[in-house]
Amino acid sequence: MEYKSEKKWLVPFAAALFAMLCLQMSNLGFSPLLPSIQKEFDLNYSQIGLFTGMYGIIAIFLSLPTGISIKKWGEKTVLLAGTSIVIIGLLLLSQSTDFNSALTNRAIWIAGYRFSFISILTAVSLTAPSHLKGRVMGIVGAVSSLASVIGAPLAGSLAESFGWRYGFAGYIATDILSLIAIYFFYTRQSQGEVGSLHQVGEKTEKSTVNAFKVPYVWGLGLVISMAGMSSLTITYFVPSAGDAIFGMTKTQTAWIISMGYLLAIPVNLLAGYFSDKYSKWWTVITLTTIGIIGLYFLSSRDEVVFKGAAIVVLAFSFACTNQNYSIAGELLKGRETGNVMGVISLLTGISAYMGPQLLGVLRDRTGNFDAGWYMIMTIVSIALGGIFILKKFVKA
């Protein structure tokens, strides 16, 4: 009986992982569709930056309200509502007639994504035992990577055969499956090791610390946002860069995205292992450093080097972000966990908007992508310095 009690967290954890898989298939996998969307609506790179950067704009406005909503209603309710909005947004986006409608529908999709993503991170952080936090976030990162490995070729192949609008059909179907899994299999249960699970939205539990008033929460959020800027920005712009510089097809650019996130699977798992066994901070430092090296080589005019650099940046920057979230999950627990994730998500959202937007503007102004790559490399390098500073004050 004791063994079964200790393992009760596995079922809701697995349900949350499946939800993450379905959610990230569209978020990380749709980038091969961007060149087609750009051509159909005759967009410049600044507009593509705005379209992809909508991810960050929505995060800025909805991250804190999402954390508050989770605290009030619980992560399951918010996740179900968010996933429903994602499905509606994807359906509307596939029917867009011009750039303005596409931008609006992208905003609806990402609004639902924001509620869902923070809910899943909260669910994972609350269901998993503390001593497995690093490995658990490694698994979460691996699942997200797998989502892109599946999602990018799926969208690319559907777009090649039927047009970019049909590329969203598979994502809608998987998100419906996610709704079913969360509704029936996600519950908040006893964790065993710490006595009881930290229940989000449990009114009987009193919190003595306000996450919004803890400087280290904001400091960690700033570092995570800067260090993770390369992940989504490169994901969104590699297809456009590959098309413009090397004349790559949707299938070829989808292959780069898939290989990057395929490599991210073992990188995430190994990072989680080393994070728990040795040091979370040194694991993050190592991942960030490798990502910076990869960013430097993105400016190469050798196609093989470009592909290799993009794959390395995607894998290691994505793993870095996930391990930073494992540190965030240890700062404050209980009802404030949702608010911690909300703060982190808010600051990450700012960089998720600024990265694609600045890269798009620099591409239009300079006529090439090099200035954008170097800009991101500089920002991530500054974040690395911030990590060393936080390491002195935050135990992880």
User: Burial letters for 99-134: b for 16+ Cβ neighbours within 10 Å, e otherwise?
Assistant: beebbebbbbbbbbbbbbbbbbbbbbbbbbeeebbb
Residue 290 to residue 375: CA distance in whole angstroms: 16
Over range 37-58, report the average pLDDT. 86
Question: Are 186 and 315 within 8 A, CB to CB?
Answer: no
With respect to residue 102, please indicate whether it lies within any of the assigned structural domains.
yes
Question: Are 191 and 197 within 8 A, CB to CB?
Answer: yes
- pLDDT tens digits, residue range 356-377? 888 888 888 888 888 889 999 9
Planar angle of CA 209, 215, 219, nearest 5 degrees? 130
pTM above 0.85, yes or no: no
- What per-residue confidence (pLDDT) applies to 307? 92
Burial class (CB in 10 A: 0-12, 13-18, 19+), 7: exposed
Residue with the larger pLDDT of the pair 159 and 209: 159
With respect to residue 75, please indicate whether it lies within any of the assigned structural domains.
yes
Q: What are phi and psi of 190, to 5 degrees?
A: -65, 140
The Cα diameter of the chain in Å comes to 66
With respect to residue 72, please indicate whether it lies within any of the assigned structural domains.
yes
Burial class (CB in 10 A: 0-12, 13-18, 19+), 309: buried
- What per-residue confidence (pLDDT) applies to 189? 38
Planar angle of CA 272, 273, 274, nearest 5 degrees? 95
Span between the terminal Cα atoms of the chain, in Å: 32
Measuring CA to CA, which residue among 279, 347, 337 is closest to residue 63?
347
With respect to residue 172, please indicate whether it lies within any of the assigned structural domains.
yes
Give the tokens for residue 282: 């040194």
Give the tokens for residue 1: 């009986």
Owning domain of residue 349: 2-190+209-391
With respect to residue 186, please indicate whether it lies within any of the assigned structural domains.
yes
Residue 153 to residue 33: CA distance in whole angstroms: 10
- pLDDT tens digits, residue range 93-136? 999 999 999 999 999 999 999 999 889 888 887 787 766 766 77
**CATH value at residue 113:** 1.20.1250.20
Residue type, 86: V
Residue 48 to residue 33: CA distance in whole angstroms: 12
Sign of CA dihedral 343, 344, 345, 347: positive
Q: What is the signed CA dihedral for 211, 213, 215, 218, rounded to 10 degrees?
A: 60
**Residue 203 CB partners (closer than 8 Å, separation 6+):** none
Residue 198 has pLDDT above 70, yes or no: no
Domain count, the chain: 1
With respect to residue 196, please indicate whether it lies within any of the assigned structural domains.
no
With respect to residue 201, please indicate whether it lies within any of the assigned structural domains.
no
Measuring CA to CA, which residue among 304, 339, 58, 392 is closest to residue 198?
339
Question: Are 105 and 121 within 8 A, CB to CB?
Answer: no
- What per-residue confidence (pLDDT) applies to 2? 44
With respect to residue 195, please indicate whether it lies within any of the assigned structural domains.
no
Residues in the chain: 396
Residue type, 193: E
Residue 31 to residue 151: CA distance in whole angstroms: 10
Rank 20-29, 208-217, 297-306, 342-351 by mean pLDDT and report only the highest. Answer: 297-306
Question: Are 313 and 236 within 8 A, CB to CB?
Answer: no
Confidence of residue 187 (pLDDT cuts 50, 70, 90): confident
Over range 309-324, report the average pLDDT. 84
